Amino acid sequence: NQHLITCAPSILMNYLEIYFDDLIKITKPQIKKLISKRSKIKKVLTHSKLSFLGGDSTFYFFIRLDSYNGDVINFCLYLLLKYNIAVVPGQAYGKSTKKFIRMSIGTETEERIHDAIKIIVSLSRRKIDNKELHRLLKINNIKMFSYK
């Protein structure tokens, strides 16, 4: 994606020159729908008492896990393996977001996002059982590694 934006191929630039207005007509309703969805999810997050970074135009939220006293990477793995909820550890985006998870709202239904938020709230108030996590890793044939 980065290379398409910074070094767009000639064929792509020619295509955009011809079809730019058509692409805008298609994407504007999608953008409006996403902004509306984001507003609704933001209300759910606020109501759930989860702290998150502000912003009004992204397709994701950075949810703060200050009350969680375990490893955020393990939290994310547990969510994925136990509940099929994929989030990204915040530390992937720098030290300032180390105690956050990044939750995308772009493609999932609002209902599934609401369910995920309930699970995140519940898990954020306790520490993940490492034995349970290791059992899930073994079942899924996933080997953990450490990098430093």
Phi first, then psi: what are they for 52, rounded to 5°? -150, 160
Distant-in-sequence, close-in-space partners of 31: CB < 8 Å, separation ≥ 6: none
| Token pair belonging to 15 | 């295509």
- Tens of pLDDT along 52-82? 997 777 899 999 998 888 889 989 999 999 9
Burial of residue 56 (CB within 10 Å: 0-12, 13-18, 19+) is: exposed
Predicted TM-score (pTM) of the model is: 0.80
CA angle 86, 83, 118 (to 5 degrees): 90
Write out the chain's pLDDT in tens, 148 residues.
566 667 778 888 899 999 999 999 999 999 999 999 999 999 999 999 899 997 777 899 999 998 888 889 989 999 999 999 999 999 999 999 999 999 999 889 999 999 999 999 998 888 777 788 888 888 888 877 654 4
